[in-house]
Structure 1
Amino acid sequence: MASLPLPAAKRELRRQVRKILSNISVSSATSQTLNAARALFSLPEYQAARRVSIYLSMPSGEISTAGIVHDALANGKKVFVPYTYNRSINPELKPKSIMDMVELFSTSDFDSFQSDKWGIPTPSDDSIASRRNTFGGKGRSEGVFPPAGETESGLDLIVVPGMVFDSELGRLGHGKGFYDFFFDRCAEHSTQVERPRPFLVGLALAEQVLPPDQSVPMDSTDWRLDALITGAGQVLRSK
C-alpha cells in the first residue's frame, strides 16, 4: 500500500475491505452491533453528552445505529443526523457538496425517514427548513456560521462511520470527504463559541479494523478519532 500514491492507496484499501464486508453474515453484523452499542452506552463521554450527532447506517457493511438513535432520544439527548446537499447560496465555495447535522425530533420522526439510494434513512428535503442545525439556526448552514448570539449550538459527541479504521484511530471514509470537512467546521465553530470540540467516536465491525502492523493511508486533511469501538465491544482511545 505504501508504494502507491495516496489516492490510489485509499482506493485500493476501500476495494479490498468492500469485498470483505460483502460477505459478512447478518447474524455476525447483528451480534457486533449489540456489542458496539453496549460499549458506547458505557462511555463516560456518551453518558455526559447532551447534544450528539449519529450517522444513520446502511442496511449492511457497518455497525447499525438505529438502536443508538433510540437510546439517545430515550435518555433526553438532542440528536442530530446527517443531511448532505449542494450549496446554493455560495456555489463557488469548495467543496460544493457538504454535510450538515440537523435535529431529529423524535423516534416517530426517525421511523418516518425514507431510504436514499444507499439504503440510508434520510430526512426529507422539505423538512430541513424546520430542523435546527448544529451550527445554530434552522435549515441549511450553507457552510457558514450564523451571526454571534446563538444561545444553543455545537455538539458534545459525534458517532462517526467509516469504511476502514486502524489501531491508531486512523479512519478512511467512503471518499466523499463529508465528515473530515464537517470536523474542520466543528473545530472552527467550537473556537468561535468557546466550547470544547466534539468528541469523535467511531464504530467498526471487526472486519473494518486493520491489523496492528497496518495503518490507514492519511494526509493532513484526514482526522483521527478520539475513540474507536469495535464489534467485539473493545474501546480504543487516543493516546
Structure 2
Amino acid sequence: MSKPSLRASVAAALSSITPAQRASQSAAVLEQLRSVPAFASCTGAASIYLPMEGACNEVDTWPIVADLLARGVRVAVPRVCGRSPTDMKMLGLSGDLEAAKALPRTKWGIPEPDEAAAASMEDLTESEDLSLLLVPGVAFDARCGRLGHGRGYYDAFISRQRRLQGGGRPQVIGLALNEQIVEAVPMGELDERLDAVVSPQGELRFTSEADGAKAARLLQRGEGAPAEGAGAGEAAALSSRVEIAVGRFKYACLRVSPPPGSGGAPFFAVRSGRGSYHADVAEAGG
C-alpha cells in the first residue's frame, strides 16, 4: 500500500475513536511504557510531542509528560520554525505541567512554543542528554516502521540524534493507538525505523526472536543451517565471531565466505550494531 493510501486508511479507522476511548488507550500506553526500561530508567532528558487539542488521532501525551516531570526528567517539546525537514527544534520546558499546557496553539491546535516563549527555553535539539525520544506517527508496524505526515521533521531529528550519540542511544519509541498498528509500513530511504513501538497492547521491538533465528540461518550457510526453532542465542553466538569497532556508522556490510569444500557460495550480510534486524536485507542480497 502506498503512503497516501495508508494515511487515508488509518485516518478512516481513527475517525470512529471517541474521546473516552482515546483517553483509555492513552492511559494503557502509559502503563505499558512504565515497564519499558528506557522509559522507567530515564533520569536525564527526554523529548516528546504534545497532543493536538480535541483530536483523537494520536496518543494523548499529557499524562506521560506529567509522569516525566514528576520524576525530575527534563522534557523537551518540538517547535517547527520552517519548511525544511531540519527546521524542527526540541526546546526544554522551563515550568510545570500547567505552564506547558498554557503554551500557544498552532493553527492545528498543537501546543507549541512561539518565538517569544522559545527565546527563554533551552535548545536541546542536538543535546546528547536526550536518552529517550517519544515520537508520534500516523501508522506503525511490527518491525517498528513508522509512517509520518510526510514532512520529514521527525526522521531528520531522529537521524541527527543517532549520528550525534551512537552506541545504542537514544532509544526512539513510537506511541500508538491500537488503530495505528498496521501490517506493514512502506519505508523510504530517509525514513528512520524506530527502536520500539508502544501501544495499549504492549511493546513491539525492532528485533524479534524470529529475526535472530533468520539471521543465524543466513550467516551459517554452508556450515549446516540450525533448526527452524533456533533463536537469538545462536545469532548472538555467531555475532561474537566478528569484531566491529564502536563508531557512529549505521551499517556494516560483511562478505561471508563459507569454509573451503563446503560447497557454499560467498554472500553479503548487512548488520547493525543495534541488532540482527537486517536479516531480510542479507537474504535479498545473497
Both proteins in one fold, TM over 0.5: yes
The Cα shift of 1:189 comes to 2.0
The Cα shift of 1:125 comes to 1.6
Cα separation, 1, equivalents of 2:105 and 2:125: 25
Q: Residue 122 of structure 2: which of 125, 132, 143 is its match?
A: 132
Cα separation, 2, equivalents of 1:161 and 1:219: 18
Structure 2 partner of 1:57 = 51
Backbone CA RMSD of aligned residues: 1.7
Structure 1 partner of 2:276 = none
* TM alignment of 1:1-239, pairs within 5 A: 1=1, 9-49=2-42, 50-58=44-52, 59-86=55-82, 95=84, 98-106=87-95, 107-135=97-125, 153-190=128-165, 196-210=168-182, 214-232=183-201, 234-239=202-207
1:52 touches 1:155 (CA, 8 Å); kept in 2? yes
Task: Kindly indicate whether structure 1 or structure 2 has the higher relative contact order, using CA contacts under 8 Å at least 6 residues apart.
Answer: 1
The Cα shift of 1:205 comes to 0.7
Cα separation, 1, equivalents of 2:70 and 2:187: 37
Instruction: Determine helix, strand or coil for the equivalent of 2:172.
Output: strand
Structure 1 pair 55–96 and aligned structure 2 pair: CA distance change class (3 A) = closer
Cα separation, 2, equivalents of 1:72 and 1:96: 27
The Cα shift of 1:96 comes to 6.4
- The number of residue pairs the alignment matches comes to 203
TM-score, normalised by the number of residues in structure 1: 0.80
Deviation track 1:80-137 (CA, whole Å, cap 9, x = no partner) reads: 00011128xxxxxxx366111100112232021122121111112211122111146x
2:28 touches 2:200 (CA, 8 Å); kept in 1? yes
Deviation track 1:207-229 (CA, whole Å, cap 9, x = no partner) reads: 1111xxx3101112111111111
2:86 touches 2:156 (CA, 8 Å); kept in 1? no
Structure 1 pair 196–168 and aligned structure 2 pair: CA distance change class (3 A) = closer
Q: What amino acid maps onto 2:105 in structure 1?
A: S
1:167 touches 1:236 (CA, 8 Å); kept in 2? yes
Q: What amino acid maps onto 2:45 in structure 1?
A: R
Q: What amino acid maps onto 1:165 in structure 2?
A: F
Aligned-pair identity in percent equals 38
Runs of 4 or more consecutive aligned structure 1 residues displaced over 4 Å after TM superposition = none
Deviation track 1:11-54 (CA, whole Å, cap 9, x = no partner) reads: 11101111221221122111110100111122111122221001
Higher gyration radius (CA):
2
Structure 1 pair 65–119 and aligned structure 2 pair: CA distance change class (3 A) = same
Cα separation, 2, equivalents of 1:238 and 1:190: 19
2:104 touches 2:111 (CA, 8 Å); kept in 1? yes
Cα separation, 1, equivalents of 2:109 and 2:61: 13
Deviation track 1:157-193 (CA, whole Å, cap 9, x = no partner) reads: 01110001111111000111100011111122225xx
